[in-house]
Structure 1
């Protein structure tokens, strides 16, 4: 009887591992050469383009992922654990982690420091045999209610529409995201590019920007009032293999009325060394690309990039 009981435990344990592996299986390769979009090439792949990239509300609001059938989506029970069933034992936990303030200092803050949120940065690592290793880099932001624009009346909360991270030249990489907690903003697309491309729920804004811009601005789009269509060039982004840009929609209190103060965890998986990394200044860039107006229906939210230290 005891042997049968032990066998049952082994079977249940094995099934549990299989289910866990399936629940964390949907990694997507992000090619260094981009992907085909018709006869063109885009550095971006689509992950969760529901809800007009965060502009929609009510019945048209973004749909949260519920399983790995949703592209790029992982469903971990806790975002402290490595989102890959090959990371077992002590490797399930981060080798290094860092929490840093997101501090803005520019003309909008009257050149003073204003903390608009925090960024959590994790690195998980496992041995793949001999002197080779695989790492997962994860970053997540949580915004606060602080007013960043001290030159205007009222409260303007900083909105993060794109999270970019450097350090991937010469690397084969896979990307994914999770939404823990459950009200975290989904990730709409991810691109092997330095350039964040503005997206609005209006004509002329595209889901997968194509290459051919000929330059690499931090933000590309039309910084004008609603109803102003972008030019074709303002919807392009060129490939930059050192950077990965995740498009999301995070704000303590969004102009469209939604509240998603936390992003999902943005994951990048690749080969790495066995040495713990140290944070590098400016390795992570957080961008506001003016997805909606500033609240009065006329004034555009400004394009803003904030640099934050991160692991490479």
Structure 2
């Protein structure tokens, strides 16, 4: 941990980006990375359009951690001090739940904020023909100001979505495969889509094509939608979770996502902030752009948004 913080200090002084380390939380600088707010984590599965390869201690493990279980901190020396389940509701319909957790170190100077989404078997848009399962493509977490933070994830279930990228940004950027009709097409990137969005001007919650597409339609966008400016107050995790996905997958649970940041010894009950957790449906296939705002733990004294 000491070495990570030294690296962060050097990186901040010279404005350099640092490549993500394999196995363990990675540094997410307040200034983002070179030309982008994001860094890549699991690069298999084309952001969930195809079946990803889960991380192991030997492969596909950038940003991944391997604690003994979900209740155990991903970093030694931390104790679980809060664990709350929060409903994810859109249009009056509960589409899933978020497990919101906090671990704190012995010195009471640093905390790890965890969030995991579990999808429910429910139609959230009854006005549309068929069953519309809410798909969470990003979990954004706020309240980190300009602090140095580390972030990562843990896969606690075989049907859990890994984290594909992590960004120091408020904006969740749509990612689409070329088509989602065949295994080969699911592995190809849609026209003008970027694994690492630029960081020029977009500061909205969501960016992408607003219309969903069918499985045989070529996914195409413009560079204007593939952009997310750096916002140091937010950490964005790109995942792919749905009870039933348009691409045929079924990752019902997200990874447990982690942000390690400074905190203090105050009572964690006072750390709950309105809208500190955002669940984003980014229209990866035949879905629309949607956001669910949920209360969540944030570092003491933080501001959200």
TM-score bucket of the superposed structures, by smaller chain: 0.7 to 0.9
Indicate conservation of the 8 Å contact 2:240/2:254, yes or no: yes
1:86 & 1:25 partners in 2: Cα distance?
A: 17
Show the 5 A alignment for 1:31-110: 31-36=29-34, 41-56=35-50, 61-67=51-57, 70-87=61-78, 91=79, 94-105=80-91
Partner residue of 1:269? 260
The yes-or-no answer on 1:140 pairing with 2:116 is yes
TM-score normalized with structure 1 length: 0.80
| 1:51-87: CA deviation from partner (whole Å, max 9, x where unpaired) | 110001xxxx211001165100011221011111233
Change (3 A) 1:173 1:153: same
1:182 & 1:269 partners in 2: Cα distance?
A: 25
The yes-or-no answer on 1:303 pairing with 2:303 is no
Partner residue of 1:283? 276
Partner residue of 1:204? 192
Partner of 1:165, secondary structure, is strand
TM-score normalized with structure 2 length: 0.82
Deviation at 1:254, TM superposition (A): 0.7
Change (3 A) 1:84 1:189: same
1:68 & 1:285 partners in 2: Cα distance?
A: 32
The yes-or-no answer on 1:122 pairing with 2:101 is yes
Partner of 2:238, secondary structure, is strand
Show the 5 A alignment for 1:222-301: 222-224=209-211, 225=213, 226-277=217-268, 278-293=271-286, 301=287
1:274 & 1:68 partners in 2: Cα distance?
A: 37
Gaps spanning 5+ residues in structure 1: where?
A: 1-23, 106-112, 294-300
The yes-or-no answer on 1:191 pairing with 2:156 is no
Partner of 1:141, secondary structure, is strand
Partner residue of 1:172? 148
Indicate conservation of the 8 Å contact 2:161/2:239, yes or no: yes
Deviation at 1:195, TM superposition (A): 0.3
1:68 & 1:238 partners in 2: Cα distance?
A: 33
Aligned to 2:206, which of 176, 197, 219? Answer: 219
Aligned length: 258
Deviation at 1:170, TM superposition (A): 2.5
Indicate conservation of the 8 Å contact 2:23/2:63, yes or no: no
| 1:1-53: CA deviation from partner (whole Å, max 9, x where unpaired) | xxxxxxxxxxxxxxxxxxxxxxx9511000111112xxxx1010000121110
RMSD of aligned alpha carbons? 1.4
Deviation at 1:186, TM superposition (A): 0.4
1:76 & 1:184 partners in 2: Cα distance?
A: 15
